[in-house]
A and B are shown apart, each in its own frame.
Chain A
Amino acid sequence: MAKSNKITVALIGNPNSGKTTLFNALTGLNQKVGNFPGITVDKKVGACQISQLASKNKIDTEFIDLPGTYSLYPKSMDESISFQVLCDPKNEHHPDVNIIIVDASNLKRSLCLATQVIDLNTPCILALNMMDLIENDGVKIYLKLLEEKLGVAVVPINARKKIGIGNLKQAILNVKERENKNSFVDIKNLCPNLIEDIQKLLNKASDYNAFQIACNYKTITDFSKQDKGKLDNIISKHKFIAKRLQATETVRRYKAIDQLLEECIEYPENSKNNSLTQKLDNILTHPIYGFAIFLGVLFLIFQAVFSWSEYPMEIIDNSISQLSQFVTNSLPEGALNSLIVDGIIAGLGGIVIFVPQIAFLFAFIAILEDTGYMSRVSFITDKLLRGFGLSGRSIIPLLSGAACAIPAVMSARTIPNWKERIITIMVVPLMSCAARLPVYTLLISMMIPAEQKWFIFNLQGLTMMGFYLIGFISAILIAWLMKYIIKSKERSYFVMEMPTYKTPDWRTVFYTIIEKVKVFLIDAGKIIIAISIVLWALSSYGPASKFDEIERKHQNTENAEVIIASEKLESSYAGIIGKSIEPVIAPLGFDWRIGISLITSFAAREVFVGTMSTIYSVGDADNTKSIREKLMSHKNPDTGEAFFTPAVALSLMLFYAFAMQCMSTLAIVFRETNGWKWPVIQFVYMSALAYLASFIAYQLLS
């Protein structure tokens, strides 16, 4: 069967068929998630060993979880992957065995894809999921007859309850080539000579495989230009019109399925109706209750990501500072110490700190997906968001962006349409995230006296709310603009199954959390660590002579540490950059001190507060003043008046509202879009927007 001892097994099935649950049951935590090359489709590969019953030999088996699809004809990038892996024998993941997972309660529709895959003549096993459930409903499936008619082994399973998994593994070892190699649809009859010509080109392809390639060879990335040229010739020679024949094929396939099911399945007299699902839908898609419940769910998610995650984040924060304290004390003072503590450990801390938020958000998303509620959310919100180039599925990424953009960007993966997914990812970081809060709090307190009121409202609070609104409105408007700018060949469909409600499968929830945390820590973490080290080097190194001079100057000063830190930062490379960009940021009302803070806070927005505090420590040897007092007492050297006028503060706030001041978000956007193109575009447009907004605000007010 396989060239080596390893067997490669592809899992294929409709969306909501329980495919991922089966994948988890087969492979456990032994999984790897990556991207397929060049596109943003999750590639999930897992492994397990299967013991042969007779010889007790252990056989290495690799499973690949293919994206869910309703047929082999690709209509999106996800579906194209399934098509390519199964139909192109040269594809690196081309399987030795296919497991087709089929929802027993939806047999007719599932068999469309299943019989297509069987027609490719790769050895197949049909895993009949949730068989026990429909038997309880009184439905009878004649398994032996079904096996005979399909020509492949049929194994009843329940992936959630882990029933039948052992049998399925044994079936993989015992799988046989199909004896009867006739297609379910007489495909040769549809386009006789074409099939033979293609088979001459690609030997051993089954009739149906040849037909599939004729329909979709243009989407196969592994085919050479030469091969494609030859196929072009064959297509034009036979005047092959793919779309028309695909339609005929589908109609005939369903006819064959109808016949087959008539013999193999028996429904009880009073056939089932999903009364529970109907009752729940009456409430959950209700014009008033539906939205009210959805708002409640959103509120809960927001609470979790925003406040519940604070406790674990605090623990992480404390452990990281204990660790850096420990390392600082146990290593000799010097550059290495500083690199490890301020560069690497600080960078690591900056990554791990996001884990609770990611875990909480994906726990909720997994529950919403698994219960079937997510498709209802799309259903009730689609109309509202469609006009802005977003879809019903954008609402959760968008609103969770108000807590933190990183998990929000990751959650955009549930949006099936590429364009809507990209637009959502592009605008999510405009939402006011938690890291902007310390910046806003500081600046608002400087701009507006605490006691100032507008009617009965506290003006500080109102301003804060205003900035949340600015974030949301700009996200929506930019999305609307991008709808016209971003071009996509992929059509946006909303044709979507609304699955019956189920109780959540906690194992799936758990695996989702593990998977997402792993993706973030490993894929985005690498980039974040690299940028952290660069930022650390920029702010701790400068021309050596300058640094020595500072040390010498303050040799005999008491409490010099604070002043030295401040002056060193000023003459570091970050300081030099800050000073050299001063002419560019001067029209926004910023000086070089703010320039330095803009650079260092690229690590994370809240770093702004710390950097400002360090820089403005000059002349405050005891370091007793609060940061607000330090900033307020700073004078403009030209006018002699306070430097932080309301105009400067507002300009700075607007800058932080729009600018992409977060390396972790850029890193995760890189990971999620599989390249630097989109993060670069995002960085540029957000910076431009920030500059423009600050420029206008400052010039008007000053």
Chain B
Amino acid sequence: MKNLSDLKLGTKAIIDSFSDKELALKLMEMGCLPGEKIHIERKAPLGDPIAISISGYLLSMRKAEAETIFVNEIK
């Protein structure tokens, strides 16, 4: 299991769980649920924030926020 923030650009992964309960609620409402497939689609010029594609749309978040999401990489 890895932190979402550690993944390289272009990797795909499946969300496993969250470490920040409050942020998790917001993320889940926006469709980031455990079991959902994501794709690291973009990083900002300074490496932070990042943008992931999830259930058909693009979602951006800061690296610190991505750190609270645990994922399993799809090889």
Chain A interface residues (CB < 8 Å from chain B): 70-71, 73, 75, 105-106, 108-109, 112-113, 243-244, 246-247, 250-251, 254, 277-278, 281, 285-287, 290-291, 375, 378-380, 382-384, 386, 491, 493-500
Interfacial chain A residues near B45, Cβ < 8 Å = 285-287, 290-291, 380
Q: Once bound together, how far apart are the Cα atoms of A500 and B57, in whole Å? A: 8
Chain B: interface size category: 20 to 34
Given contact pairs A379-B51, A382-B44, A382-B49, A109 touches B31 in the complex (Cβ within 8 A): yes
Verify B27–A495 contact, CB threshold 8 A: yes
- The complex places the Cα of A99 from the Cα of B6 at a distance, in Å, of 41
Chain A positions within 8 Å of B1 at CB level: none
How many A-B contacts if CB must be within 8 Å?
Answer: 106
> When chains A and B are docked, how far (Å) is the Cα of A368 from the Cα of B26?
26
Contact B33 A254 (CB under 8 A): yes
Shortest Cβ distance from residue A200 to the other chain B in the assembled complex, whole angstroms = 28
Please report the C-alpha to C-alpha distance between residue A379 and residue B44 in the assembled complex, in whole angstroms.
6
Complex Cα spacing A247 to B29, Å: 9
Q: Does B46 reach chain A (CB closer than 8 Å)? A: yes
Q: Do B57 and A109 touch (CB < 8 A)?
A: yes
Which B residues lie within 8 Å of A243 (CB)?
21-22, 25
Contact of A383 with B46 in the complex, beta carbons under 8 Å: yes
Q: Bound state CA distance, A553 and B29, in angstroms?
A: 79
B55 touches A496 (CB 8 A): no
The reply to whether A493 and B65 form a contact with Cβ atoms under 8 Å apart is yes
Contacts of B33 in A (CB 8 A): 250-251, 254
B30 and A70 form a contact (CB under 8 A) = yes
Asked if B51 and A73 sit within 8 Å, CB to CB, the answer is: no
Closest B residue by C-beta to A291: B45
Once the chains bind, are A109 and B44 in contact (CB under 8 Å)? no
Q: Which of B27, B57, B62 contacts A497 (CB 8 A)?
A: B57
Please provide the chain B residues from 15 to 42 with a CB less than 8 Å away from any CB of chain A in the complex.
Answer: 21-31, 33-34, 41-42
Assess whether B46 is in contact with A384, with CB atoms less than 8 Å apart: yes
Inter-subunit contact A497/B65 (CB<8 Å): no
Indicate if B59 sits at the interface (CB-CB under 8 A): yes
Query: What's the Cα separation between A499 and B55 when bound, in Å?
Result: 13
CB distance from A529 to the nearest CB of B (A): 44
4 tightest Cβ-Cβ pairs between the two chains A and B: A287-B45, A71-B29, A498-B58, A383-B46
Contact B29 A73 (CB under 8 A): yes
Do residues A493 and B26 form an inter-chain contact, with CB atoms below 8 A?
Answer: yes
The interface residues of chain B, by DSSP majority, are classed as: mixed
Specify the chain A residue showing the minimal Cβ separation from B31: A109
What is the CA–CA distance of A689 and B21 in the complex, to the nearest angstrom?
A: 42
CB-CB under 8 A for A491 and B44, given A108-B31, A497-B58: no
CA–CA, A113 to B26, complex, Å?
A: 12
B interface with A by C-beta (< 8 Å): 21-31, 33-34, 41-42, 44-49, 51, 55-62, 65
With contacts A105-B56, A112-B31 known, is A495 near B26, CB below 8 A? yes
Closest to A492 in B: B62
Question: Given A382-B62, A494-B62, are A247 and B24 also a contact pair (CB < 8 Å)?
Answer: yes
Distance (whole angstroms) from the CB of A622 to the closest CB of chain B: 62
Contacts of B48 in A (CB 8 A): 382-383
Chain B residues within 8 Å of A379, by CB: 42, 44, 49, 51, 60
Report Cα–Cα, A495/B30, bound state, in Å. Answer: 9
Task: Output the least CB separation between A626 and chain B (Å).
Answer: 50
Given contacts A278-B41, A498-B51, 20 further A-B contacts (CB under 8 A): A75-B25, A75-B26, A106-B56, A247-B21, A250-B28, A254-B31, A254-B33, A281-B42, A285-B44, A285-B45, A285-B51, A287-B45, A375-B60, A491-B23, A493-B65, A495-B59, A496-B59, A498-B58, A499-B57, A500-B58
Shortest Cβ distance from residue A374 to the other chain B in the assembled complex, whole angstroms: 12
Which residues of the partner chain B approach A75 to less than 8 Å between Cβ atoms?
Answer: 25-26
**C-alpha spacing A75/B23, complex, angstroms:** 10
Hey, which chain B residues are within 8 Å of A495, CB to CB? 23, 26-27, 30, 59-61, 65
Which A residues are CB-close (under 8 A) to B42?
281, 285, 379
Give complex CA distance A247, B22 in Å: 9
Q: Can you pick out 10 interface pairs between chain A and chain B where the beta carbons lie within 8 Å of each other?
A: A109-B55, A243-B25, A281-B42, A285-B51, A379-B44, A379-B60, A382-B44, A494-B49, A494-B61, A497-B30
Contact between B56 and A108, CB atoms less than 8 A apart: yes
Q: Is there an interface contact between B55 and A108, defined as CB atoms closer than 8 Å? A: yes
**B26:A246 contact, CB within 8 angstroms:** no
Bound-state CA distance A278–B25 (Å) is 28
Closest to A243 in B: B21
A258 to chain B, nearest CB (A): 9
- With a cutoff of 8 Å between Cβ atoms, the chain B residues found around residue A496 in the complex are 59-61
Residues of chain B with a CB closer than 8 A to A244's CB: 21
Shortest A446–chain B CB gap in Å is 44
Task: Give complex CA distance A243, B28 in Å.
Answer: 12
**Contact A70/B29 with A382-B44, A382-B49, A498-B51 known, Cβ cut-off 8 Å:** yes
Bound-complex Cα distance A145 to B60 (A)? 34
Cα–Cα distance between A287 and B66 once the two chains are bound (Å): 21
Chain A residues lying within 8 Å of B25, measured Cβ to Cβ, are 73, 75, 243, 246-247, 250
